[in-house]
């Protein structure tokens, strides 16, 4: 039985899709605002503002990669930060052996992230629900303890990079503005890639597996193959975020891949709004900016953030984007 046309996957009676222009207004405004941050930062606190904005964009990449499988595939991964660590350690290990070229480090990070996602995803996706959550957590912790055992690369203390990655031997990324726009370019490219995946027939099938995998299988699709492909794409994009994070901090640590970090990525996606991609970026910004503000008052800032998150989940279904949509209709 041949698979049906892509439009047949849309549920009967569904509301018509929003016009394309309206759908992309908010992402365009978001990316334009990020592009203008360095110019605004010239008025004061330039180094601090740029560092914070770069961190927001890096975790925005990691969060939107998770949104691809969580929001569109209903795959709750508690080991997603492992890919962040793979990307960071690809930079750190190669740099410690004198290989400082960005493209070499990036290639290694993407390949190893994809391979780890392929192997662990092929095993994890044989399970469902809470079992999937637990097995991804187990794989993430396995990689975390592997990193802590690498005494040659700092072990539990982490590894300091001798320099940021070089581009064809030139220290292009040492400049704050240059590195900022490289990260912004990676964020836009990751968003466009995920948006193309979601808008394609592949994305429609992935959403179908989220709603009813048995029905998708009955009409001729293999949910496992589509979910595994999405898992590999998400892991690879998160590996890119790890490369950028290592270059920003000039430090690599096993702490990048703990289950707590994976939990933070899930929170970012939920706060911004599931299944929106740009909502994941907004969620990352909201989480990190709120952390920055609350941490200035108390080191126990999570005691304040926790109840705020509960209130958001209870009264703001759909996260921050859900609030925007309801206020727009109101």
Q: Are 173 and 165 in contact (CB under 8 A)?
A: yes
Instruction: Name residue, tokens 């809470």.
Output: 130
Residue 22's Cβ-count burial label (10 Å; 0-12, 13-18, 19+) is: exposed
Residue 116 CB neighbours (<10 A): 21
DSSP string, 81-104: HHHHHHHHHHHHHHHHTT--BHHH
- CA angle, corner 237, sides to 235 and 240, nearest 5? 115
**C-alpha distances out from residue 209 to 119, 202, 214, 280, 294, Å:** 21, 11, 8, 21, 39
Q: Is 159 helix (H, G, I), strand (E, B) or coil?
A: strand
**C-alpha distances out from residue 310 to 60, 304, 306, 316, 321, Å:** 22, 11, 6, 10, 17
| CA nearest to 254, candidates 130, 100, 176, 146 | 146
The reply to whether 9 falls in a domain is no
Q: What is the CA radius of gyration of the chain?
A: 20
pLDDT value at residue 16: 41
The reply to whether 281 falls in a domain is yes
Q: Is 165 helix (H, G, I), strand (E, B) or coil?
A: coil
- Six token digits for residue 163: 């320099």
The reply to whether 12 falls in a domain is no
The reply to whether 47 falls in a domain is yes
pLDDT value at residue 296: 82
pLDDT value at residue 20: 56
* Number of domain units in the chain: 1
The reply to whether 1 falls in a domain is no
The reply to whether 83 falls in a domain is yes
CATH code for the domain in which residue 105 is found: 1.10.3470
Q: State phi, psi for 295 to the nearest 5 degrees.
A: -65, -25
Q: Give the Cα separation of 119 and 158 in Å (integer).
A: 26
Q: State phi, psi for 251 to the nearest 5 degrees.
A: -155, 145
The reply to whether 209 falls in a domain is yes
Considering the entire predicted model, what is its pTM? 0.91
pLDDT value at residue 57: 97
The reply to whether 11 falls in a domain is no
Strands, E assignment, 92-184: 159-160
pLDDT value at residue 24: 79
- Domain span holding position 111: 22-329
Q: pLDDT 10s per residue in the chain (330 long)?
A: 445 444 444 443 333 444 455 577 889 999 999 999 999 888 878 889 999 999 999 999 999 999 999 999 999 999 999 999 999 999 999 999 999 999 999 999 999 999 999 999 999 999 999 999 999 999 999 999 999 999 999 999 999 998 899 998 889 898 888 999 999 999 999 999 999 999 999 999 999 999 998 899 999 999 999 999 999 999 999 999 999 999 999 999 999 999 999 999 999 999 999 989 999 999 999 999 999 998 888 888 888 888 888 887 777 777 888 777 776 654
pLDDT value at residue 10: 45
Q: Give the Cα separation of 207 and 212 in Å (integer).
A: 9
């Amino acid at each position: 039985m041949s698979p049906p046309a892509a439009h047949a996957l849309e549920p009967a009676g569904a509301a018509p899709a929003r016009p394309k222009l309206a759908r992309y207004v908010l992402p365009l405004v978001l990316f334009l605002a990020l592009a203008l941050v360095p110019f605004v930062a010239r008025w004061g606190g330039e180094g601090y503002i740029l560092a914070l904005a770069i961190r927001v964009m890096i975790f925005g990449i990691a969060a939107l990669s998770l949104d691809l499988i969580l929001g569109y595939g209903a795959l709750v991964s508690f080991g997603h930060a492992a890919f962040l660590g793979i990307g960071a350690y690809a930079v750190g290990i190669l740099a410690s052996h004198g290989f400082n070229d960005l493209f070499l480090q990036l290639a290694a990070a993407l390949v190893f992230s994809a391979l780890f996602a392929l192997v662990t995803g092929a095993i994890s996706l044989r399970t469902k629900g809470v079992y999937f959550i637990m097995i991804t957590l187990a794989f993430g912790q396995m990689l975390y303890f592997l990193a802590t055992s690498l005494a040659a690369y700092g072990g539990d203390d982490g590894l300091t990079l001798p320099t940021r990655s070089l581009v064809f031997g030139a220290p292009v990324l040492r400049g704050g503005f240059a590195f900022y726009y490289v990260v912004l370019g990676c964020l836009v490219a990751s968003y466009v890639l995920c948006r193309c995946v979601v808008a394609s027939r592949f994305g429609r099938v992935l959403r179908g597996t989220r709603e009813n995998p048995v029905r998708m299988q009955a009409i001729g699709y293999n949910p496992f193959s589509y979910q595994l492909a999405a898992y590999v794409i998400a892991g690879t994009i998160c590996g890119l975020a790890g490369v950028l994070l290592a270059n920003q901090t000039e430090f690599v640590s096993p702490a990048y891949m703990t289950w707590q970090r994976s939990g933070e990525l899930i929170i970012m996606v939920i706060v911004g709004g599931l299944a929106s991609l740009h909502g994941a970026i907004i969620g990352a910004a909201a989480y990190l900016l709120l952390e920055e503000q609350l941490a200035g008052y108390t080191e126990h800032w999570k005691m304040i953030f926790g109840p705020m998150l509960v209130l958001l989940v209870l009264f703001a279904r759909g996260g921050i984007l859900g609030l925007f949509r309801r206020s727009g209709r109101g």
